[in-house]
Amino acid sequence: MTGLAVSTPRLLLRKLHQVMAGRGDAQQRLDEIVRLIAGNMIAEVCSCYLMRAGDVLELFATEGLKKDAVHQTRLRVGEGLIGDIAAQARPLNLSDAQTHPQFAYRPETGEEEYHSLLGTPVLRGGRVIGVLAVQNRTQRSYTEEEVEALQTVAMVVAELVSSEEMVAATEFSDTAGNATLPHRIGGSILAEGLASGFALMHEPRIEVLQTIADDVPSELSRLESAISALQSSVDALLTATNTLFSDESREIFEAYKMFAHDKGWLKKLNDAVRTGLTAEAAIKRVQDDTRARMKEISDPYLRDRLSDLDDLANRLYLHLDGHTVIDRRNLDQATIVVAHNMGAAELLDYDRRHLKAVILAEGTRSSHVAIVARALGVPVVGQCEKIGEAIEQGDFILVDGEHGQVFLRPGDDVQEAFSTNVRLREERQAKYAALRDMSSTSKDGVKLSLNINAGLLIDVDHFHETGADGIGLFRTELQFMVRSQMPKVDEQTALYSKVLDNLNGKPVVFRTLDVGGDKVLPYLRTKAEENPALGWRAIRIGLDRPALLRSQLRAMVRAAAGRELSLMFPMIAEVSEFIEAKAILKKEIEKESKRSGSEPAKINIGSMIEVPSIVWQLPHLLNEVDFVSVGSNDLMQFFFAVDRGNPKISDRYDTLSPSLLKLLRKIVDDCTAANVPLSVCGDIAGRPLEAMALMGLGYRNFSMSAETLGPVKEMALSVDIDQLRDFVLKLCDVRDHSVRDQLRSFARDHSIIL
Ligand code: PEP
Ligand code: MG
């Protein structure tokens, strides 16, 4: 038996086109489509299963199986071979299907006569919405061309199924597959808050609205124009990388250039259009192929190259005429950005007026995108598995950043419950606002200092609304990350002046540039590192490239002329680094004094405590500093050897573990002995239970995201620190994984509001 000749797809597609454009309802068209496929592929059977409510695949049309089985035969996703194709979202090619362990016999179909089976998922927006399968009596193996042809036809079926007409068809409409069903996805809270809006995919996705070309020559010319636009843009990028980017970026763009001019890739695209596909559908076909190949390749280098090709297909799609590119900086509706993961700078690219929330497949609470989102007051739910498959561009979504969940296409009942949550949240916010002007003093009269972490001008503009005592950590790198070029000294000076002006005498602690690791500056050339968190970052860059640090210190000194300046250095691992950095600062002060005759009225120079090694040199460090601040995010990362950005392990160890508490206590003891002011500015400062434990350990100065100030203040006002102290100190010596439960019980027993 001969299979489908390579030239036949175009003929088949032309016939399918006629069916699609012809008369009849969607069901009739689907019946006609399976008949045509069976005839053209010389298969005795062609069946189409579509996804129904509850992840069930229902036989919607068949040529060859018993007609009575249509709308009767149902398989769960994962059940039988059809269910397996849907579950794995990849084709299955079997010469003897019945001996396959997954085979599930359905007597009503009469399929016992057929041995070979070729099935492929019907995909829409990366989601399986059905399965298309052909079967033959003989035990034959389908050729690669036949697999590809069936995949191409599956795209046509996807178009038909997605059309409104099909969705509106009898019965199917109520439960139109998982595409329109309400759906809840659980995740973890990376930034608190509640928001609703419409999904915008951060990574552009190829959308195929029409699969079969009306006019092949004109599609070929659309493709050709897009290819030359892509080639020029990649060439231009490469020229830019010579001056702006790192070796690593240049390598990637060189690979892009190679692929963008690769004859094999271009031929595949052109061939796909010649079979009768639109340019969009052709790009999608070729991309699907690449993805299928990627799944089978384990060599990381080759996988990377294939993923370059995948990305290139997305870029090519963006160059097709008629395609509308969404301008991130000018959004026109409430937007929920959906991404696999993203950097802080990319988040800042979005129009803040309409950016309402972010959903990430990955992400952790201490990753910088989460830190920036909290600064912006944008809720983030992260670690939502399979969001890419579940969410479609434009879906209406509710993001519940209070409980770490996301509702897609919510029903009325869920929307109502959500509105109640929004109201309750507003009530809570009003309660926190009422605490704003109260002094931060514990129940037993201990004076505390509650500050906010900032880094963007928006934080500074809203500073006085927070009721904070000051800014305990100003992350200067955020200003560097939002720009495409290194800010000049004058620009930096203007910024730091504005911060000092706005704070109007309240304390602010600037931290010098902390880049590297996951904080990337596009214009700073750095080599790719195997272990970036342990690599060339923060003060290490500052000391190795003193010009950068000097220019920043100069700007700070100028901005603070005649007033008080507090600044600290990040990632100090040993005293000598601090001494070296301090010497650079002293020189800048001298130079500035000579240049302008002015200098800050007072300078406080501090060090962050983020690397465990410095804790064992504290007495020496404390001799050199005016203050220290614990960066618990990094301290925790290095203490437990746990990557703060890796969701798989980021929760493995608890911040409320006895060993970490003991380390934190040692810092208090050393600072008390040396009479050096101490604060904590990592994420734990903003969590009421953690902040309570820190108060028990002796911490009095906290700096946190503005969002968390209210809850921490409410806790602080209700705690008797004297009662708490002994309890917490004892917990430092227990052998448990965590003392969270004990602390919670203490809070409950002593009416501490958490
Ligand atoms: C920290 O590490 O705790 C810290 C405050 O710095 P960042 O989160 O910016 O690394
Ligand atoms: Mg840090």
Q: 619 pLDDT band (50/70/90 cuts)?
A: very high
Q: Which fold has domain 436-749?
A: TIM Barrel (3.20.20)
pLDDT bucket at 743, cuts 50 / 70 / 90: very high
- The bound ligand whose nearest atom lies closest to the alpha carbon of 655 is 1
Which residue ranges does the chain devote to CATH 3.20.20.60?
A: 436-749
DSSP at 583: H
| C-alpha of residue 631 to centroid of ligand 2, in Å | 5
Q: Which numbered atom of ligand 1 lies nearest the CA of 637?
A: 2
pLDDT (mean) for 547-570 = 97
Average pLDDT score over residue span 335-352:
85
Q: Which is catalytic among the residues 368, 384, 671, 732?
A: 368
Better pLDDT: 21 or 737: 737
Task: Say if CB 569 and CB 512 are below 8 A apart.
Answer: yes
Q: What is the DSSP letter of 215?
A: -
Q: What is the number of other CB atoms lying within 10 angstroms of the CB of residue 704?
A: 26
Give the tokens for residue 136: 């033959």
Label residue 295 by pLDDT band (50, 70, 90).
low
Smallest Cα–Cα separation from 79: which of 102, 109, 106? Answer: 102
Minimum CA distance residue for ligand 1 atom 6: 631
Pocket lining: 475 vs ligand 1, CB cutoff 6 Å:
yes
Smallest CA-to-CA distance from 517 within 652, 609, 645, 339 is with 645
For the question of residue 368 being annotated catalytic, the response is yes
Does ligand 1 come within 6 angstroms of the Cβ of 682? yes
Q: Distance between CA 193 and CA 370 in Å, rounded?
A: 12
End-to-end Cα distance, the chain: 73
User: Quick one: pLDDT at residue 501?
Assistant: 96
Please work out whether the CB of residue 681 comes within 6 Å of at least one atom of ligand 1.
yes
Please name the helix (run of DSSP H) or strand (run of DSSP E) that holds residue 579, with its range, or none: helix 575-596
DSSP state of 178: G
Length of the chain: 754
Cβ(514) to ligand 1 under 6 A?
yes
What pLDDT band is residue 70 in, cutting at 50, 70 and 90? very high
Tell me which residue has tokens 């996705």: 205
Tell me the residue type at 466: T
* Alpha carbons 96 and 469: distance in angstroms, whole number: 74
pLDDT at 209 over 90: no
The pairing of beta strand 194-201 with beta strand 396-400: antiparallel
631 CA to middle of ligand 1, Å? 5
Q: Per residue, what are the HEC states of 624-677?
A: HCCEEEECHHHHHHHHCCCCCCCCCCCCCCCCCCHHHHHHHHHHHHHHHHHCCC
> In this structure, which ligand is nearest to the CA of 630?
1
498-531: pLDDT as tens digits: 999 999 999 999 999 998 876 777 677 667 788 8
Measured in Å, residue 571 CA sits from the centre of ligand 2 at: 7
Q: How far apart are the C-alpha atoms of 182 and 184, rounded to whole Å?
A: 7
Average pLDDT score over residue span 258-262: 83
Average confidence score pLDDT of the chain: 87
Cα separations in angstroms, 178 against 122, 182, 211: 13, 8, 22
pLDDT above 90 for 222: yes
Please name which ligand lies nearest the alpha carbon of 635: 1
Tell me which DSSP letter residue 493 carries.
H
Cβ(393)–Cβ(326) under 8 Å? no
CATH of domain 205-325: 1.10.274.10
* CA trace torsion 493, 497, 500, 504 (10° rounding): 170
pLDDT in tens, 73-122: 999 988 999 999 988 888 899 999 988 888 888 888 888 889 999 999 98
Q: Are 94 and 82 in contact (CB under 8 A)?
A: no
How far is it, in rounded angstroms, from Cα 622 to Cα 464?
Answer: 32
> Range(s) for CATH 3.30.450.40 in the chain?
9-171
Q: pLDDT of 534-555, one tens digit each?
A: 999 999 999 998 999 999 999 9
Question: What are the pLDDT digits (tens) for 144-179?
Answer: 888 888 988 998 888 888 764 554 433 333 333 334
pLDDT, position 395:
87
Residue 180 has pLDDT above 90, yes or no: no
- Evaluate: CB of 631 within 6 angstroms of ligand 1: yes
Domain 9-171 fold is Beta-Lactamase (3.30.450)
Instruction: Give residue 607's pLDDT.
Output: 98
* Structure confidence by residue, pLDDT tens digits, 683-736: 999 999 999 999 999 999 999 998 899 999 999 999 999 999 999 999 999 999
Q: Is the pLDDT score of 348 beyond 90?
A: no
Ranges for all domains in the chain classified under CATH 1.10.274.10: 205-325
Our answer to whether residue 681 is catalytic in this structure is yes
Highest average pLDDT, of 154-158, 232-236, 346-350, comes from 154-158
pTM of this prediction? Answer: 0.66
Give 368 Cα–ligand 1 centroid separation in angstroms. 9
- Centroid of ligand 1 to alpha carbon of 583 (angstroms): 24
278 lines ligand 1 (CB under 6 A): no
Cα 367 to ligand 1 centre (Å): 9
Does 703 sit in the ligand 1 pocket, CB within 6 Å? no
Cα–Cα distance for residue pair 480/344, rounded to 1 Å: 11
| Ligand of minimum distance to the alpha carbon of 685 | 1
